[in-house]
Amino acid sequence: MLIGFGNKMRGYATFIMALLLIATSLAGGGFVHAQEPAAAGVGASVVSSTYNIDRFNPYQIRTLDPLPLYTAEKDAASSGMEISPQVLTVLAEGELITVDDFNNMKAPLYGQWLQVDTWLGPKWIFPLQTRYNELRDDDYELLRDGYIYDEAGNELGIVAPQTVHVREKTIGLYYAGSHRYLIDTWLGPQWINGRDIMKPAPETVKETIPLYLPGAGVLYLWPENNQRTFHVTMTPQQVVSDEHWRNWYHIKTADGAEGWIANGDGGWNNGQGVLFGEYQPVSTAVMLNAVKPLYQRPFAGATPVAELSPQTVTVKGQIGHWYLLDTWVGTVWMDDTDVTVLESGKK
């Protein structure tokens, strides 16, 4: 929860939900065309990939409000069932939706579709980011003095720089940089605002992974940090990650910039994520056997920018089960479902 805002947010939840669903249905105009990637980072070589293109590591959250259950992401109506506040396992992440300037807050308010495991099988929920916590079991370095607060937001004292153990993490009201953490203290578990003063102290996984960055993103000095690396905004490109922690990947870009990028995690990378594998330039004729949604970036949770009726088209790039092609709305992506390959060739 966001300390000081928790009770107020409860009253907004139902109204916000309606606004977000409307925003989802109206979204789509005014986008930057997809681009082909630049070469891999300086000094890096792209290796052949055996990684799942859509790999996702399930994690646990603690919800703070009763939530309707949905059969599918972005359903207009719930299944009629509701789930009480509890610990849930997240099986997949869907679209991150932003309602700007809600109630004159002068800042974006986020909500995200999450597929969770329930007694009815996998179902979707839509909690606001201030209304659920991610369970953690990690050590962090506290870089300078930080105030601690109880659940109600009352200030309890100051913690000096040291290694602290994190039990839960929640995303703040305005942006990902205002994460708050539930840490062990001499007063028991209490909350601290971790923006810019806490650094993960994990053992990272040393692993060479080819990644494709489908759009502009930001590099950070370390995972879950609000300090950007010279405010780098990257163009679409192929890169190689040499180490990772949770959903954060250390990379070097085509122009030599180095830092950490998040896969998804709303706000850190504009909710864009990365793809696992190598982008391949191709010239392939494919037949569309059904109406195909077109996306600005290759993520199924994104809002389509247009549609193509059944026809034969030529795609110019591919990664995993996504095709890149030129259309009347610019260069866009579509997935390979309901598609028949007629003629294939690499450039």
Q: What is the DSSP string of 291-344?
A: -EEEBSSS-TTSPPSEEE-S-EEEEEEEETTEEEEEETTEEEEEESTTEEEEE-
Distance between CA atoms of 292 and 78, rounded to whole angstroms? 26
Instruction: Please tell me whether residue 234 adopts helix, strand or coil conformation.
Output: coil
Q: CB–CB of 334/321 below 8 Å? A: no
CA dist., res. 195 & res. 142, Å (int): 11
The pLDDT assigned to 29 comes to 35
Cα 102 to chain centroid, rounded:
21
252: three-class secondary structure by DSSP:
strand
Burial 127-150 (b: 16+ CB within 10 A, else e): bbbbbbbbbbebebebeeebebbe
C-alpha to C-alpha distance for 190 and 184, rounded to whole angstroms: 7
For residue 165, what pLDDT is reported?
95
Give me the pLDDT at residue 152, please.
Answer: 86
| Reported pTM | 0.64
Strand, helix or coil at 186?
Answer: strand
d(CA 50, CA 8): 47
The H or E element that residue 24 is part of is: helix 6-26
Residues 6+ away with beta carbon under 8 Å from 155: 147, 148, 149
According to the model, what pLDDT value does residue 184 have?
96
CA 154, CA 151: separation in Å to the nearest integer?
Answer: 8
Distance CA 112, CA 265 (A): 10
Structure token digits, residue 76? 């207009």
Residue labelled with tokens 């679209």? 95
**pLDDT of amino acid 338:** 94
- Angle CA(215)–CA(30)–CA(127) in degrees, nearest 5? 70
Is residue 272 within 8 Å of residue 236, measured between CB atoms?
Answer: no
List alpha helices for the chain, DSSP H: 6-26
Nearest to 94 by CA among 56, 65, 51, 132: 56
Give the mean pLDDT per block of 10 residues along the chain (347 residues): 37 41 36 44 34 65 91 76 92 70 50 88 85 90 92 92 93 58 95 83 84 78 71 78 87 86 56 74 93 82 84 92 92 92 72
- 184 within 8 A of 178, measured Cβ to Cβ: no
pLDDT at 231 (0 to 100): 59
Where do the domains of the chain lie, and which CATH numbers do they carry? 6-30+56-131 (no CATH), 133-200 (2.30.30), 205-276 (2.30.30), 280-343 (2.30.30.40)
H helix intervals, 44-104: none
Those residues whose C-beta lies under 8 Å from the C-beta of residue 134, and which sit 6 or more positions away, are 59, 60, 61, 168, 169, 170
